[in-house]
Structure 1
Amino acid sequence: MRVAVTGASGLVGGQVAAAAAAAGHEVRGVVRRRGSVAAQGIETVRAPLEDPSALRSAFAGCDAVVHCAAVYAFDADRAAEVERVNTTGTVSVVQAAADAGVQRVVVTSSSVTRGSSRTAAPRTELDVLGDEPAPTYYASKVEQERVALQTGQRCGVPVVLALPTVVLGGPAQRLLPSNAIVLRYLLDATRSTYPGGCNVVDARDVALGHLLLLERGVPGERYLLGGQNVSWRTLHATVAELAGLPGPFLEVPRPVAQAVARVAGGWSRLTSSAPLVTLDEADTVGRWYWYDHGRAALLGYAPRSARDAVAASLAWLLVGEHVPRWVREGLSLSPDVRAARPLVPRPL
């Protein structure tokens, strides 16, 4: 099968492209900017989401499209960009895929469209985002799903929706809010944690889940692609254990998390840098973002443990620019972290 993958230079898109190539598919990585790197050895073409003609050319001759390109950010100053790219961009992709004669489109959404709970109860594809803290990113993903299915129906191309949870690992060209969860604990001298919890999944498993949906997913259906449900305390304890750090200790309630986010926002504006945590994220403290991936499991989806996903996140963070040297020197890494990132030879 010839498969085009949008966002092939990103975390999920890059893994999807690599997994599809490894499975024997002919893969075309679709990126926004020249020089972006998709999975090694994969054909790369430039096609911005706002250029329908370029998208049609990129999809020409392809049997399927996996649409992973999106803006994953909680910064208030990027709200308009998040809405535009995640919704209007998706309409353009599905329309261009139909025009190019593509037979199936898999769209990467997010588990947050299924909402969260006040208690530790997993949610399914039948749940919806309710009356709860909902950052612009969440709303954009709800709208993305709606317009993807609507456009697919209007244009006559089958659309399947993939809903990953908190995706950890690499490679990633920039720090995403998911891997930032792990980074925050490394940088937190208080070793604090929070009430509530989330579901974390390895990026490699999310990629394999996309392939299952590409081959066996039912058009018009949503599929949660999660890993393991954990409390924030368990997640932070896993980071601590793998990195050789103490804690976690104090459980920080939402008001304190919000105050910290306001300080972080002020510092980011002062230094013209991206905030490590935003007020939108702090507003979700105390909620349980737990999900049941049973529908995908029926197709053969079998993700790794949360511990493996955290190890993968640490492995990639520690070779990037986001962990200061003084923090690295204070870590005593588990062998599992070192084993989580395969050694890739560089050309001499």
Structure 2
Amino acid sequence: MRVLVTGGTGFLGRHLVHALVERGHQVTVLYRSEKRLHHLPKDVQTIRGDVKDADSIQGCARGHEVVFHLAGEVAWGRRLRRRMLEGHLVGTRHLIAEAKRAEVARFILTSSAAAVGFSDDGTPLDEYAPFNGDRLNIGYAIAKRKAEEEVLREADAGFPGLCVNPSVIVGPRSPSFLSRVAQGRLRLAPAGGVNLVDVRDVVEGHLLAMEKGKPGTRTILAGTNLPLVDVFQQIQHLAGGEVNVRPLSRSYARLVAIVAEMASWINGRDAALAWDLATLTNRYAYYDATEAKQQWGWQARPLQETLSWALAQTGDNDKQARPR
């Protein structure tokens, strides 16, 4: 099949593009900058454009049967919130319009488990949990939720769109805290819990969505639910370092976040510990992937296997990047 992928130069996108090519699909990547194209397979086609600019992507889906929409900024800090929200909402609208004109057979939005919500008591949430990201005022969750709503609204009118909702994706050099924890540079973990899932399993979930997903649905791709302190300890143990992690209280996390948010306005980068992340301290990003398992036969591998692989790959990449 001919497949269009937005966000194909990003972390998850690159893994998905490689998997699609390996399975014999003809892949086109919509990209904004040429800087990261060298990470892609040689036989992919490319189109330059920005989903936020409707004119630049005109005709991008023509001749394609499937569209994977992964493009969208991830920002937890307040400085970039408005730009992120606009990118997800406007970008999704523009790409849906192109997909409709091209009469694609399947449109798959990569949303996030954050668009499902967050648990106050540690009970894993499924696809039907009431959304509380707006009440908590979590910008990333709101942006992903609004993009989902665009797809699902169109699906109600017959558009072949559906959503997949991965939790925190783990792979080489991701998430951002992986290397810092492994190297012992980050020893404070916000109280609360998180769900981690292997990037290879998320890719498999996307391929299953293409084959088995039903329009108008959202499907969680989640792996292991675990307190963040335990996650950090596992990373340190697997990295062979001293296991020494302490929980970070909500009050202290908010204090750190205030300083980090102020610094972000000066350095132009997203806050290291953003206010939205501090707000989630003592809450649980725990999710239930029963729907994907029962409907698609999808499975997530054990967390220790994922962390071991990710740390080994990250270490190899670091060695290759060092000057000789």
- The TM-score, its normalising length taken from structure 2, stands at 0.89
Unaligned runs of 5+ in 2: none
Deviation at 1:268, TM superposition (A): 4.3
Partner of 2:5: 5
Aligned to 2:107: 105
User: 1:164 aligned to 148, 163, 166, which one?
Assistant: 166
- Cross-structure match for 2:151: 148
SS in 2 for 1:311: helix
Relative distance call for 1:189 and 1:72 in structure 2 (3 A) is closer
Check if 1:300 corresponds to 2:301.
no
Amino acid at match of 2:123: A
Q: 1:87 to 1:121 in 2, by over 3 A?
A: same
Q: Which runs of 5+ in 1 are unaligned?
A: 172-177, 326-348
How many residues end up aligned between the 2 structures?
316
What do the CA deviations read for 1:261-294 (whole angstroms, capped 9, x no partner)? 2233344445554432212111101111111111
Q: Which residue in the other structure is 1:230 paired with?
A: 226
Shift of 1:319: 6.0
Name the amino acid aligned to 1:40.
P
| Alignment of 1:218 onto 2:217 | no
Alignment match, 1:334: none
Whether the 8 Å CA contact 1:199–1:291 is kept in 2: the answer is yes
Provide the identity percentage: 28
Residues in 1 aligned to 2:131 and 2:183: alpha-carbon distance in whole angstroms:
32
Question: Amino acid of the residue matched to residue 127 of structure 1?
Answer: A
**Correspondence 1:242 to 2:243:** no
For the aligned residue pairs, the C-alpha RMSD in angstroms reads 2.4
Distance (whole Å) between structure 1 residues aligned to residue 275 and residue 154 of structure 2: 33
Q: Which amino acid aligns with 1:282?
A: A
Q: Deviations over 1:104-135 (max 9, x none)?
A: 10001110111111222111001132275332
Q: Distance in 2 between matches of 1:123 and 1:317?
A: 31
- 8 Å CA contact 2:80–2:270 kept in 1: the answer is no
Confirm whether residue 135 of structure 1 aligns to residue 132 of structure 2.
no
- Matching residue within 75, 89, 92 for 1:90: 92
- Any conservation in 2 of the 1:95–1:152 contact (CA below 8 Å)? no
Shift of residue 215 of structure 1? 0.8
Name the CA distance, whole Å, in 1 between partners of 2:55 and 2:267: 39
**Structure 2 counterpart of 1:339:** none
CA distance in 2, matches of 1:274, 1:243: 27
Evaluate the alpha carbon distance shift between residue 183 and residue 133 of structure 1 in structure 2; reply closer, same or farther with a 3 A threshold: farther
Q: 2: CA distance between counterparts of 1:187 and 1:282?
A: 23
Question: 1:122 matched to which residue of 2?
Answer: 124
* Correspondence for 1:311: 308
- Relative to 1, partners in 2 of residues 1:273 and 1:68: Cα closer, same or farther, differing over 3 Å? closer
181-190 vs 88-97, greater mean Cα deviation: 181-190
Query: Judging changes above 3 Å, is the alpha-carbon distance between structure 1 residues 59 and 127 closer, same or farther for their aligned structure 2 residues?
Result: same
1:274-285 residue pairs with structure 2 within 5 A? 274-285=270-281
| TM-score (normalizing by structure 1) | 0.83
Q: Is 2:188 the counterpart of 1:192?
A: yes
3-state secondary structure, aligned to 2:33? coil
In 1, Cα distance between equivalents of 2:2 and 2:186 = 50
CA offset digits 1:127-179 (Å, max 9, x no partner): 1322753321111111111111223444x4211100010012147xxxxxx61
The change in CA–CA distance for 1:277 and 1:14 in structure 2 (over 3 A counts) is same
Q: Equivalent residues in 2 for 1:9-28 (5 A)?
A: 9-28=9-28
Equivalent-residue separation in structure 2 for 1:229 and 1:277 (angstroms): 21
Q: d(CA) in 1 for partners of 2:190 and 2:68?
A: 35
CA drift at 1:189: 5.0
